[in-house]
Amino acid sequence: ISKKMASQRLLLFVLLAASVAVALSAKSAKDVIIGARQPGDHLARREFVKKDSSWLQVVKLQQTFGVDYGKITHVKLLDQNLKGNGATASVLAGGPGNSYITVQFKSQSLAAVLAEKLPNSLIVGDREPGDHLMQREFVMKGYKWLRSVKLTKTFTGSVHSKITQVQLLDQNEKGNGATAAILSGGPGDNFVTVQFKSLRGHGVNYVVKLYGKFQEMASQHLLHLALFAACLAVTLAAPKHVIIGIREPGDDILQREFAVKKSQWLQVVKLTKTFVAQSNAKITQVRLLDQNKKGNGATATVISGGPGSTYITVRFKSVRSHIQKHQRAQHRLHCENLREITWNFVVKNTYHILLNI
């Protein structure tokens, strides 16, 4: 090998080593990578997993990820918290060589971070999705020479809202300001009464935040019930419809399919069929909608499975055909049922899941 080729190879090796070093420096310490990608592999699944933190508690989350076909060759669990104080991931079952993988995520406690940041602050309750800021107010009272300052104040959110979280944030970062205590009200009520008490020779300097959720008024509730009853009456107008389970926020339509079988002369037509949900999703609602508007079509009966399961078995049974002589040549009795399966797919994001098969 000539000296020129050797120098070129050495240069390529240095560049490769530098690229690997940069990649490793950007990689989070909590990342878990299992298996090896092979030529011809493709990305079978990419998903974000998230669960909100709890006050002074360790958050745990166990979830199973599967592929529709093939076997997993490579799994990447990529922590999106680059500071290294997020969650850890451990594989409980499955993985490369299987069609699924079960992972447990476990976060760290927030005690050290919050205690260091908020010396005299008080946070009561938990914020939930859909909460809004009801009130934000500054509470200030000047100091008195060698005396302690006390202040009691009531904060009211809204008549049609309930408080879900109260934040009493001390603006004195040195920790020698005032303390706050809740006397009455708080989460679950529409008011909160707070007492502030300072150290001798110090004042009160707080920011009060109230978060809450809107409540329906009685008239709005009755209106919603009336609309629901009207929709239910329209839905039940077709005599052969079968609707099982309840749709929840975030549900999606998993499958929509027609079940059709032709009629037989003066005979009852029967059809039994099993519908399986994809990706091991659990069914929350099943709709068997008869397409015969006259009400003389087929009936549908659930034999097994349904909401809470990953499959459902349905038996369709038509009525005996009663056809006049001049209509025999053209008549067809259909048992058509439109089936919609919905499922609650709870996916939130802290980890980035990549499954390759």
- Asked if 208 and 241 sit in the same domain, the reply is no
Does 10 map to a domain?
Answer: no
* 171-190 exposure pattern, b = at least 16 Cβ within 10 A, e = fewer: ebeeeebbbbeeeebbbeeb
Least Cα distance to 299 among 316, 278, 312, 323 occurs for 316
Residues of the chain with pLDDT under 70: 1-5, 7, 11-12, 14-30, 53-57, 81-86, 108-119, 175, 215-240, 249-250, 279-280, 293-295, 321-357
For the chain, the domain total comes to 3
pLDDT for 195 equals 92
Q: Which residues contact 103 (CB under 8 A, 6 or more apart)?
A: 62, 63, 64, 65, 77, 89, 90, 91, 92, 351, 353
Residue 239, Ramachandran bin (φ over 0: left; ψ between -120 and 50: alpha; else beta): alpha
CA distances from 47 to 64, 281, 351 (A): 12, 15, 8
- Asked if 76 and 152 sit in the same domain, the reply is no
Does 86 map to a domain?
Answer: yes
Provide the 10 A C-beta neighbour count for residue 233: 9
- Asked if 112 and 124 sit in the same domain, the reply is no
Cα 90 to Cα 102: distance, rounded to the nearest angstrom: 9
Does 39 map to a domain?
Answer: yes
Give the helix/strand (H/E) hosting 175: none
Does 1 map to a domain?
Answer: no
Q: Which ranges constitute the DSSP H helices of 286-343?
A: none
Among residues 88, 116, 144, the one where a domain terminates is 116
pLDDT for 155 equals 92
Cα 262 to Cα 249: distance, rounded to the nearest angstrom: 38
- Asked if 111 and 125 sit in the same domain, the reply is no
Residue-range definition of the domain harbouring residue 258: 237-321+336-346
Does 2 map to a domain?
Answer: no
- Asked if 164 and 199 sit in the same domain, the reply is yes
- Asked if 82 and 155 sit in the same domain, the reply is no
Q: What single DSSP character describes residue 310?
A: S
Does 225 map to a domain?
Answer: no
Does 353 map to a domain?
Answer: no
Among residues 89, 116, 143, the one where a domain terminates is 116
pLDDT for 153 equals 92
- Asked if 246 and 282 sit in the same domain, the reply is yes
pLDDT-above-70 percentage for the chain? 65
- Asked if 202 and 261 sit in the same domain, the reply is no
Among residues 71, 100, 116, the one where a domain terminates is 116
Cα 96 to Cα 234: distance, rounded to the nearest angstrom: 50
Phi, psi (deg, nearest 5) at residue 203: -105, -170
